[in-house]
Amino acid sequence: MKALILVGGYGTRLRPLTLSVPKPLVEFCNKPILLHQVEALVKAGVNHVILAVSYMSELLEREMRAQEERLGIRISLSHEKEPLGTAGPLALARELLTDNAEPFFVLNSDVICEFPFEDMLRFHKHHGKEGTIVVTKVEEPSKYGVVVYEAESGRIHRFVEKPQVFVSNKINAGMYIFSPSMLNRIQLRPTSIEKEIFPVMAQEGHLYAMELQGFWMDIGQPKDFLTGMCMYLQSLRQQGPEKLRTGPGFLGNVLVDPTAQIGENCTIGPNVTLGAGVVLEDGVRIKRCTVLKGARVRSHSWLESCIIGWSSSVGQWVRMENVTVLGEDVIVNDELYLNGANVLPHKSITDSVPEPRIIM
Amino acid sequence: MLKTVILIGGPQKGTRFRPLSFEVPKPLFPVAGVPMLQHHIEACAKVPNMKEILLIGFYQPNEELTRFLSYAQQEFKIPVRYLQEYAALGTGGGIYHFRDQILSGGPEAFFIMNADVCSEFPLPEMLDFQKEHGDTHSFVMLGTTANRKQSMNYGCIVENQQTNEVLHYVEKPSTFVSDIINCGIYLFTPEIFQHIGAVFQKNQQDMLLEEQTNGWQRAEVIRLEQDIFTALAGQGKLYVYKTDRFWSQIKSAGSAIYASRLYLNQYHKTHPERLATNRDGGPKISGNVYIHPTANIDPTAVLGPNVSIGTGVTIGAGVRVRESIILHGATLQDHSCVLNSIVGWDSTIGRWARVEGTPSDPNPNDPYAKIDSETLFRDGKLTPSITILGCNVNIPSEVIILNSIVLPHKDLNRSFKNQIIL
């Protein structure tokens, strides 16, 4: 079975992290974002993953070769020379997707959830039409495009963009399974699958909705990355609590790489992820943060809602909060206060940032 | 013999020093670990032939002041008395009212100083200068150089550069007059009372002519600066001794931190025993730090530069304090961080909390810059300044209090920035 992942471009929404590492390789809860999806696909029986990319990265190619080996599957990169939207890449990969008659998965790359690929396949085969999209419940449907469908069968009636009166609280979760015949609907030109393809399929009775159980988050920007981390760790608490760190000094859900080092009198959590080789010195207070590989937080600092980039160093008695994101190899001097700072890679910060801003 | 009069003002003055002046008369606020006034008294007590120090002001007698007076007399072996004005009489009116007390015993000269200045007090130099300038009854004021812009916030002095005679004096002019400013420290001979007396007489006559239209005005209210110096300038009576040693006003609470820095630095010469040093089992000291012997400080704390820790203060593990004054009985819990702040008496700062202000130091690249004791608000916004916690304020764990003023007896429950918390 095959899957196409819409990786897309430079991942600008997740800058400054994506200035150093292609978005699919940015670690989310100590695993590259892409691998969360790929591993779940493999578990559901997928043996060929096609990444639709609009820019080529040697780092990504090299990493995918390694993952092919590790997972024993095939990973292809399908490179679009011009942006093709969300449907065009399917046409570009047509030959790879149609060398057999099996249905294939299509995913947006920023989505994190308990991936229901086996359920999708079963549901799709059961209704027997061309497409199935996964939908998820949201609190404020007026901010999104919602899906109106038959509760019993899942057959989609229509899509409504930012509804002003309540029609549905289910939105497209960015995960699909299609039969190969669906590709006849798509031409090799920039096309939106959501706006141009799905409404037609729905009208013809060929599109079904399956409701997602559990959490769902688009982690394409730092604020949502952190929210998604909280959800993921909570789901880990239920699915695999042995992976979470507990004991004195740990509060709530905390994920710690075995090679991370933690000093004395720290209080960590809830909702913290510490990557490989991370060092927290004595007396650090950290909550709702991701600390990426090789970063160091020096003693007595206080961090909340931050992403600390690879190999960055945060000084002593630093306070950082409000979705402060440090790019790779950033140095924050002692005793500073960073409030919502977005710091580009390889910067040395010598002055406090009392109000949110970008540090070039 | 010599005497000194220190003008200490009263409770309605020094509002820029709130909320700290709610708890203690401003002249007794600790600067570099000791009451502001003690620096004056110590300097006076060192002057040979100084026989008495008089404090004039309009505070009701209070326990704090009484205790300080008896301490100072014992410590410096000199009579120190408080003379209470029946009303605020101004800088000239107060000394005129108490002229008999000042002149009793027949001093040939006496110093007058404002309590809210911080200075190296070059008093022997002023005495020598007085003997060499003008006649035997000449008056001396201490002056220092300011930059052009800031000079206009002070009394400005124009001198004869050969003789150092004061040719012109104007208080807080609206345009530039001179970059030599009045330091609020004077050396007078008893003859000064003739000049103040003349103003008093004139005030009385003016009031008779005005037929009580200004019923609230008193003939006794006389200001040295506007009423006396302005008239004496150019009369061959008043001379300016210019100092290039440290000097600052202490108007706002922010300037108390700056004044502490100046005095702590002076301790290297005058009181090295008051400066904390790095030693086994003690906290890490960086720069000039004063720690009261009764303070209890964890060895993993890092203090300084410019930190003063009062009596009975408790400082926990991994605490950082820089450019701050911690008043008696305060508690700083583990990992907290206090920068550019004054922490009030018996206040508590929770674990990992951060209390931070913005320093209002003079421009370090301008040797003549002075501290700006600005108003609290500019363009309707609170000017970022040092953070001040009044007495008995509780700051919870893990919050930040930034550029804020917290009035006494408050329990905060969240972070605050750029606010006055009533």
Contacts of B334 in chain A (CB under 8 A): 265, 283
Q: What is the CA radius of gyration of chain A?
A: 21
The answer to whether the Cβ–Cβ distance between B318 and A283 falls below 8 Å is yes
Q: Is residue B246 a contact partner of residue B262, using CB atoms and an 8 Å limit?
A: yes
Retrieve residue B349's tokens: 């700062």
Retrieve residue A101's tokens: 């008659």
Residue B155: per-residue pLDDT: 93
Q: Say if residue B60 is exposed, middle or buried (CB neighbours under 10 Å; 0-12, 13-18, 19+).
A: exposed
Verify whether residue A162 is a known catalytic residue.
yes
The answer to whether the Cβ–Cβ distance between B318 and A302 falls below 8 Å is no
DSSP-derived letter for residue B234 is T
CA A113 to chain centre: 9
Number of H helices, E strands in chain A: 7, 29
Residue B378: per-residue pLDDT: 63
The reply to whether ipTM tops 0.90 is no
For residue range A271-286, list pLDDT tens digits in order. Answer: 999 999 999 999 999 9
**Tens of pLDDT, residue by residue, chain A (360 residues):** 999 999 876 778 888 998 898 888 999 999 999 999 999 999 999 999 999 888 777 888 898 999 999 999 999 988 888 888 888 787 788 888 888 888 999 999 889 999 999 999 999 999 999 999 999 998 888 877 889 998 889 899 888 888 788 888 899 999 999 999 888 888 888 888 888 888 899 899 999 999 999 999 999 899 999 999 999 999 999 988 999 999 999 999 999 999 999 999 999 989 999 999 999 999 999 999 999 999 999 999 999 999 999 999 999 999 999 999 999 999 999 999 999 999 999 999 999 999 999 988
The distance of B409 to chain A (nearest Cα, Å) reads 26
CA pair distance A154, A214, nearest whole angstrom: 18
The answer to whether the Cβ–Cβ distance between A302 and B402 falls below 8 Å is no
Q: Report H helices in A11-108.
A: 33-43, 58-71, 88-92, 94-97
Model pTM score? 0.84
Residue B209: per-residue pLDDT: 72
Q: Is residue A322 a contact partner of residue A223, using CB atoms and an 8 Å limit?
A: no
- What's at B322, amino acid-wise? R
Residue A86: per-residue pLDDT: 86
If we measure between CA atoms, which residue out of A109, A106, A145, A153 comes closest to residue A127? A153
Contacts of B402 in chain A (CB under 8 A): 337, 354
DSSP-derived letter for residue B132 is H
Report the 10 Å Cβ neighbour count for B53.
26
The answer to whether the Cβ–Cβ distance between B318 and A337 falls below 8 Å is no
The answer to whether the Cβ–Cβ distance between B402 and A337 falls below 8 Å is yes
**Tens of pLDDT, residue by residue, chain B (422 residues):** 999 999 998 887 666 777 887 778 899 999 999 999 999 999 999 999 999 999 999 999 889 999 999 999 999 999 999 999 988 888 888 999 999 999 999 999 999 999 999 999 999 999 999 999 888 889 999 999 999 888 998 999 999 999 999 999 999 999 999 999 999 999 999 999 999 998 888 888 877 776 665 555 677 888 988 889 998 988 999 999 999 999 999 988 888 999 999 999 999 999 999 999 999 889 999 999 999 999 999 999 999 899 999 999 999 999 999 999 999 999 999 999 999 999 999 999 999 999 999 988 888 778 888 887 656 666 666 778 889 999 999 999 999 999 999 999 989 999 999 988 88
Does residue A322 sit at the B interface (CB-CB below 8 Å)?
A: no
Phi-psi domain of A273 (left: phi exceeds 0; alpha: psi -120 through 50; beta: other)? beta
Minimum Cα–Cα distance from A338: chain B residue: B400
Retrieve residue A266's tokens: 């720290």
Retrieve residue B288's tokens: 């000039």
For residue range B326-368, list pLDDT tens digits in order. Answer: 999 999 999 999 999 999 999 999 999 999 999 888 887 788 8
Residue B215: per-residue pLDDT: 55
CA pair distance B335, B306, nearest whole angstrom: 19
Interface of B with A in 393-422 (CB under 8 A): 398, 400, 402, 417
- What's at B124, amino acid-wise? P
